[in-house]
A and B are shown apart, each in its own frame.
Chain A
Amino acid sequence: MKPEQPKYRTSEEVDFVIIGSGAAGGILAKELSGNGFRVVVLEQGPYLTEKDFVHDEIKVFNQDLLTNHPQLQPNTFRRTPNEKAKPQRALVYGRLVGGTSVHFTANFWRFHEIDFTEHTRFGPAEGAAMADWPITYADLEPYYTKVEWEIGVSGQAGASPFDPPRSKPYPMPPLPVKAGGVLFERAARKLGWHPFPAPMAILSQPRPGRSACVNCGFCLGFGCEVGAKSSSLATAIRMAEKTGRCEIRPNSYVHRIELDANGRATGAVYFDEKRNVQRQKAKAVVVCANGAETPRLLLLSANKQFPNGLANSSGIVGKHLMLNSGGVVTGVFEHPLNDYKGFAVSRVLHDFYELDPEKLGFRGGGGLDARFDSTPISFALGSLPPGSPRWGTGFKDVLSHNFTRTLEIFCHGTSLPVENNSFSLDPDLKDAWGLPALRMTYKDHPDDLKLGAWLTARATELLDAAGAQKMWAPPVQEQQFAVHLLGTCRMGKDPKASVINSDHQTHDVKNLFLCDGSSLVTSGRGQPTMTIEALAFRAADRITSLAKRGELPA
């Protein structure tokens, strides 16, 4: 049931309009409305709820029930700025109330200290725009804890010797171990590594209105029909609605932020469900549209004062895109694991989080996890060993044997921030609303590829030690597809080298704030959502104090 919401008129100047209702937007909506402000959340996608979530792979993966639609919102891709970009689906994100947090894996590692200070620690890296964050892990720690307790994260404090300091344990124990997790744990220990129960944004114990995980196995890619996955939909959005001051307005596709003569944002212009243009007035604008759509919206909002895009005096809006690097190794075991039951990941290790660049010859680090996140059709079409029969008795045999016996080791690593890697507006291609489509430019930094190959070698050792009867790893290649959308409006002290300050306020427009994956200065080692949510809790505190001190233009 959706609680009663206020209905604000578009002409009514609310305190905040928030664009996007995902990991960051949901939390900002909850916090700002909870702090007494009147909030309108504009979400481009529909408002679906648990009753709409099904285990149908065709509906979810082929018809994009929960995600951006490649026909309505096509995009282009190129490797370098010298190339003409070609139409090619290059990114996926959640396009509904709750955003990508509705369908994500829910791996919820915190970033470590090194992620915030890597530049100072190791110096510049050739071909990368390394920078420290203007905040540290210690600044963010209370907000990581807030995410764990308020949104709901299961895990075991102190289980990893590499974990950064924490002020409180997890609010609930880890999810049960899966057979693949047991294999991973035993093999890793044999190798002298330190596996630990995966921190997951999935409930191991029920909370009011939400069930604990029932291990249905339709997790990554799917919405959770029992509310166990701690999406913004199942958590922050509902809390925001309960304040009575927050309106969630779905099917509202924002395409412009307007400024007044004094250079202040006056609200957001959007297409409603019938494609009529609406203008929601607000005292301040918070953009949480993700690391692709946030820079796109700023570029679409170019005006006389900001001919290169709103809040883009630095010229770096959309740049320094980071996707996270990695690799995958798959193994098949003698006995059934049945890892199709349950959530995706039950064991992780962080022994390689901080590597020595001097010794290895590349920057970065990463983590490994034990994973099975396939559903039957995707497994049959995409997860059999290379060279397997594609049809016939041989196909049926390998499919029937492997489905219950397969385990994957995923490697998650850093991407270095490269200026050319970016989201920008395609000069030719338009979306179904006639707006310039996203153009992605991406070529992995050479260190990212070296790291991916190095981690893949460790994962191979692990599967070997686990006793896999057969295993294979595709070569690590340059990426052409984005899931993690990071770094495109980076945070920093210098207005010439960053888009927002540590309060998430744009350097150029004082009542315009950005908070989502675009805010990140470094990529972490994968699993960015936990950090995006911690940033959102912190941003809400900062924005609230600015507003209460009267420092936001009214």
Chain B
Amino acid sequence: MKNTFTRREILSQGLAGMSAAWVSSHWPAMLSAAGHARQAAKGVGPAKFEFLYPEQAVEIEAISARIIPTTDTPGAREAGVVFFIDRALVTFAQDNQKVYAEGLSELRDHVREMFPGTEKFSAATLEQQDEILKSLDEQSSGGGGRSFRRRAAAQSFFETVRVHTVMGFLIDPDSDKHGNRDGVGWKVIGRDAEHMFQPPFGYYDKNYPGWQPDSAAADKTKS
């Protein structure tokens, strides 16, 4: 089945629809981005940003940390999302460079306007940061449209960072092409790290006795 909400559509166009730039075929670069996040995460030498200036990286990390905050479980910060995004912006998401550059510049103005005396997003309190992002989200989503609706190719700064943050948090950590440092994103959502499983899988199939023919199976009542 396929109405506008079906899984197939979400899979095949929903994600792609989020950002046309992501559709471009830059896969090898993706590998590289993941490796970059991993290397930075492992502390193998100092993290060197390729697109973002350090002060911009601080801002992006602060935004991503409000999109998926650190609570009693890890968030975007622990998953190394900012490194994932930085590498993405010089490789497969190059088309989003302008969105980030302009978005960060507008963000600075926005912060000053909303909270005079505060010079940058990362310097605001967490409550202020949420307020700022809320105003950006309202601007960008037109009042909370569903994320799996098709979007125009040019999407807002906030929506772009939001989608990239989710991707950097949840991409397969076992492949050599990811953010999701140490698989923390999967741990948070309850996905086991393995790629091979045996039943029973969950709570409701634990004591399943095996399929039994239905006693009323002969009843072919039509509706």
Looking across the interface, which residue of chain B has its beta carbon closest to that of A105? B8
How many Å from the CB of B165 to the closest CB on chain A?
8
A-facing mask of B1-43, CB < 8 A → 1, else 0? 1111111111111111110001111110010000000000000
Query: Could you tell me if B12 and A63 are in contact, using CB atoms closer than 8 angstroms?
Result: no
Query: Could you tell me if B211 and A194 are in contact, using CB atoms closer than 8 angstroms?
Result: no
Query: Could you tell me if B147 and A182 are in contact, using CB atoms closer than 8 angstroms?
Result: no
Which residues of B sit under 8 angstroms from A61, Cβ to Cβ? 11-12, 15-16
How many Å from the CB of A374 to the closest CB on chain B?
7
The docked-state distance in angstroms from the alpha carbon of A352 to that of B219 is 13
Known: A215-B196, A403-B191. A408 touches B1 (CB 8 A): no
5 of the cross-chain contacts (CB-CB < 8 Å) are A58-B171, A156-B211, A376-B185, A382-B7, A391-B67
Tell me if B110 counts as interface (CB < 8 A to partner A).
Answer: no
Query: Could you tell me if A392 and B130 are in contact, using CB atoms closer than 8 angstroms?
Result: yes
Q: Which of B198-219 contact A (CB under 8 A)?
A: 198-205, 208, 211, 213-214, 216-219
Stretch touching chain B among A67-75, A144-152, A270-278: A67-75
Which residues of A sit under 8 angstroms from B219, Cβ to Cβ? 161
Query: Could you tell me if A192 and B172 are in contact, using CB atoms closer than 8 angstroms?
Result: no
Known: A376-B185, A390-B162, A481-B13. A214 touches B195 (CB 8 A): yes
Query: Could you tell me if A392 and B141 are in contact, using CB atoms closer than 8 angstroms?
Result: no
Which residues of A sit under 8 angstroms from B27, Cβ to Cβ? 59, 63, 65
The docked-state distance in angstroms from the alpha carbon of A360 to that of B4 is 24
Tell me if A10 counts as interface (CB < 8 A to partner B).
Answer: no
Query: Could you tell me if B1 and A526 are in contact, using CB atoms closer than 8 angstroms?
Result: yes
Tell me if B137 counts as interface (CB < 8 A to partner A).
Answer: yes
Stretch touching chain B among A282-290, A394-402, A488-496, A498-506: A394-402
The docked-state distance in angstroms from the alpha carbon of A57 to that of B203 is 27
Query: Could you tell me if B7 and A481 are in contact, using CB atoms closer than 8 angstroms?
Result: no
Tell me if B133 counts as interface (CB < 8 A to partner A).
Answer: yes
The docked-state distance in angstroms from the alpha carbon of A106 to that of B52 is 44
The docked-state distance in angstroms from the alpha carbon of A194 to that of B216 is 8
How many Å from the CB of B33 to the closest CB on chain A?
10
Which residues of B sit under 8 angstroms from A411, Cβ to Cβ? 1
Closest 3 CB pairs of A and B: A326-B1, A179-B202, A335-B203
How many Å from the CB of B204 to the closest CB on chain A?
4
Which residues of B sit under 8 angstroms from A383, Cβ to Cβ? 10
Tell me if A417 counts as interface (CB < 8 A to partner B).
Answer: no
The docked-state distance in angstroms from the alpha carbon of A396 to that of B73 is 10
Tell me if A351 counts as interface (CB < 8 A to partner B).
Answer: yes
| Contact residue among A214, A371, A382 (Cβ-Cβ distance under 8 Å from B196) | A214
The docked-state distance in angstroms from the alpha carbon of A180 to that of B199 is 12
Query: Could you tell me if A377 and B166 are in contact, using CB atoms closer than 8 angstroms?
Result: yes
How many Å from the CB of B178 to the closest CB on chain A?
8
Q: Which of B24, B190, B202 lies at the interface centre, i.e. has the most chain A CB atoms within 10 A of its CB?
A: B202
Q: Which of A178-218 contact B (CB under 8 A)?
A: 178-183, 185, 189, 192, 194-197, 214-218
Known: A89-B13, A380-B170, A391-B68. A177 touches B205 (CB 8 A): yes
Query: Could you tell me if B4 and A481 are in contact, using CB atoms closer than 8 angstroms?
Result: yes
How many Å from the CB of A271 to the closest CB on chain B?
18
Tell me if B75 counts as interface (CB < 8 A to partner A).
Answer: yes
The docked-state distance in angstroms from the alpha carbon of A319 to that of B3 is 20
Which residues of B sit under 8 angstroms from A552, Cβ to Cβ? none
Tell me if B92 counts as interface (CB < 8 A to partner A).
Answer: yes
Q: Which of A311-358 contact B (CB under 8 A)?
A: 323-328, 333, 335-342, 351-352, 354-356
How many Å from the CB of A346 to the closest CB on chain B?
9
Known: A56-B30, A182-B205, A391-B66. A381 touches B1 (CB 8 A): no
Tell me if A378 counts as interface (CB < 8 A to partner B).
Answer: yes
Query: Could you tell me if A215 and B23 are in contact, using CB atoms closer than 8 angstroms?
Result: no
Tell me if B103 counts as interface (CB < 8 A to partner A).
Answer: no
Q: Which of B162-178 contact A (CB under 8 A)?
A: 162-163, 165-167, 169-172, 174-175, 177-178
Query: Could you tell me if A183 and B25 are in contact, using CB atoms closer than 8 angstroms?
Result: no
Tell me if A162 counts as interface (CB < 8 A to partner B).
Answer: yes
| Contact residue among B2, B16, B213 (Cβ-Cβ distance under 8 Å from A479) | B2
Query: Could you tell me if B11 and A178 are in contact, using CB atoms closer than 8 angstroms?
Result: no
Tell me if A413 counts as interface (CB < 8 A to partner B).
Answer: yes
Q: Which of A92-147 contact B (CB under 8 A)?
A: 92
How many Å from the CB of A56 to the closest CB on chain B?
5
How many Å from the CB of B116 to the closest CB on chain A?
24
Query: Could you tell me if B68 and A159 are in contact, using CB atoms closer than 8 angstroms?
Result: no
| Contact residue among A88, A391, A400, A403 (Cβ-Cβ distance under 8 Å from B133) | A391
The docked-state distance in angstroms from the alpha carbon of A327 to that of B5 is 8
The docked-state distance in angstroms from the alpha carbon of A352 to that of B201 is 29
Which residues of A sit under 8 angstroms from B200, Cβ to Cβ? 179
How many Å from the CB of A269 to the closest CB on chain B?
26
| Contact residue among A181, A382, A452 (Cβ-Cβ distance under 8 Å from B1) | A452
Tell me if A477 counts as interface (CB < 8 A to partner B).
Answer: yes
The docked-state distance in angstroms from the alpha carbon of A146 to that of B1 is 26
Which residues of B sit under 8 angstroms from A69, Cβ to Cβ? 23, 25
Tell me if A64 counts as interface (CB < 8 A to partner B).
Answer: yes
